[in-house]
Amino acid sequence: SADVRMMFFAEHGFPMEEFVRRKLGPVILKDELEYFREVRLLEPFRVTLAAAGLSADGSRFVMRNEFWRTEGRLAARVTSRAGWLDLSARKMVVPPDALMAALQSLPRTDDFQELPSKGKESGSGV
């Protein structure tokens, strides 16, 4: 899942070097894994990526990967809740416009949800 996310960002103008240059990174707050079918070692499979949630300001997002066996059966699903971390200030931030556009370009899941924006949720501050 992490590799697919980072390949997606790289394809949209944000390779790892760009994150380092901007002192910005995605921070995964929670991963939920669901297993449905076995995939054997070195067996080919297909991975999809979709948005399951996004805040209006882009500071928080949920991405979902689905792992499909070659005959078309769903093998696993990973749902990752994340946000953008300013690596210097060590706090959640709004992403640059290009990253927001990349997130908005993702296909949306059937259960897509609008998430609270940065600073608009009570509690953890993340």
Q: Give the residue among 7, 102, 105 at the shortest CA–CA distance from 47.
A: 7
Question: pLDDT value at position 122?
Answer: 36
Task: Decide: 64 and 49 in contact? Cβ < 8 Å.
Answer: yes
Question: pLDDT value at position 118?
Answer: 77
Question: pLDDT value at position 89?
Answer: 95
Question: pLDDT value at position 121?
Answer: 43
* Residues contacting 95, CB < 8 A, separation 6+: 24, 58, 59, 84, 103
Question: pLDDT value at position 119?
Answer: 60
Per-block mean pLDDT, blocks of 10 residues, the chain (126 long): 96 96 96 96 96 97 98 97 96 95 97 85 39
β-pairing, 45-55 vs 108-115, is parallel
